[in-house]
Chain A
Amino acid sequence: MIANYGYKDGSGEYFIVMDTDRCDGCGDCVTRCPAGVLEIILNDYDEKVAAVTDEHRRKLKYSCAPCKPVSNRPVLPCVAACKPEVLRHSW
């Protein structure tokens, strides 16, 4: 399943895109995210997968901002932590 968590508003599109078919639910991304944006859930089809917490879904632009400096942006910690390449940011 391609899960798009986030929103679009007047200032742009802010989605974290998860390809849950690749996710093994290891939780490495959860521990590496400094803002606590991610969690491991049991989804509707009883698969253990990473997801964006309810709390952060409506404010991703701000939650993720500290990891996105304007220049010299390093690879995002959540993306770097994920070996199966599940996770992608839309902005």
Chain B
Amino acid sequence: MAQEFWRWKEYNWRDPNESWKNGAFLTGGVDVGSVSTQAVVMANGTLCAFANMRTGSDSPDSSRKAMNWALEGTGLTMEQIRYIVGTGYGRVNVSFAHRTITEIACHARGANFMYGPTVKTVLDMGGQDCKVIRCDEKGKVSAFLMNDKCAAGTGRGMEVFADLLSVPLEQIGDLSFQVEKEPPPVSSTCVVFAKTEAVGLLRAGWPKNDVLAAYCSAMSHRVYALLERLGVENDFAITGGIAKNPGVVKRLEGELKLKALTPRFDPQLAGAVGAALFARTLAQKEGMA
């Protein structure tokens, strides 16, 4: 089979120190996105296990798969998780969740946990949409702006470009800096038009890396406009898969003239972590913990 350049690595993780299993109050968060699904298990508010995988075409199934994968090797079953919150684009499909909460609230809460309480502005660059969220020191949302109408400036667009240029998705960021001179950004916002434009650039003799650079800077430019609309207050953090693409992050930092914080965990987990934290609060409210 031909190499699938867009395919990023799915993985799971669990805390090797297994003492967390003993008598802790376990909560779970599942973030079913349009492209990726994350499941997180927390014990008394600390991260213990998680899984990060592709959503695929069957989101009820992928939410269950992700949770089971996160629990793999822990000896625990889903029934032992006392409270589970579903979030993300496909949150209604998390059949085993006790409650659903929007990804906006979950990302703010998750970013507050992962980047610390100084975070005031969160940019979530997801698989198929991007959102700007302003929050307070407790991770409560004070303002948000979402653009869910099109996939420009998102992970899906990066996947399309990885495929078009036969560059593994994870390498796009680094390669986009290996250019002689920073090229002008791709002018089309739409992924489909941008792809057409990129094919034209390749035909005109542009090296691959220049096309990548042009696309990364177009993406950074596009989310910058979104950020400007809501206003950016320091500290600033980026969540979602694109946060792992330095080609976009560094260019955006340049435009904003400020640095994004470094996360303690995979930035793709923010939504699921937020959901698991909400689960804990809700369980406490309902007198379970």
Which chain A residues have a beta carbon within 8 Å of chain B's beta carbons? 1-5, 7-10, 13, 15, 43-45, 57-58
Answer whether residue B178 sits at the interface, using C-beta atoms and an 8 A cutoff.
Answer: no
Per-position binary interface string of chain B over residues 217-231, scored 1 when its CB falls under 8 Å from any chain A CB and 0 otherwise: 000000001100110
Q: By the criterion CB–CB under 8 Å, are A2 and B149 in contact? A: no
Q: By the criterion CB–CB under 8 Å, are B148 and A57 in contact? A: yes
Count of chain B residues with a beta carbon within 8 Å of a chain A beta carbon: 23
The secondary-structure label for the interface of chain B is: mixed
User: Which residue from B102, B149, B229 sits with its C-beta under 8 Å from A58?
Assistant: B149
Contacts of A15 in B (CB 8 A): 145
Contacts of B278 in A (CB 8 A): 44
New A-B pairs, 6, CB < 8 Å, besides A8-B226, A13-B229: A1-B141, A3-B143, A3-B144, A4-B144, A4-B229, A4-B230
- Closest CB in chain A relative to B253 CB, distance in Å: 22
Given contacts A8-B226, A9-B150, A10-B189, contact A44 B145 (CB under 8 A): no
Cα A8 to Cα B129 in complex, Å, equals: 12
Contacts of A43 in B (CB 8 A): 102
Contacts of A57 in B (CB 8 A): 148
Q: By the criterion CB–CB under 8 Å, are A7 and B140 in contact? A: no
Residue in A closest to B143 when the chains form the complex, CB atoms: A2
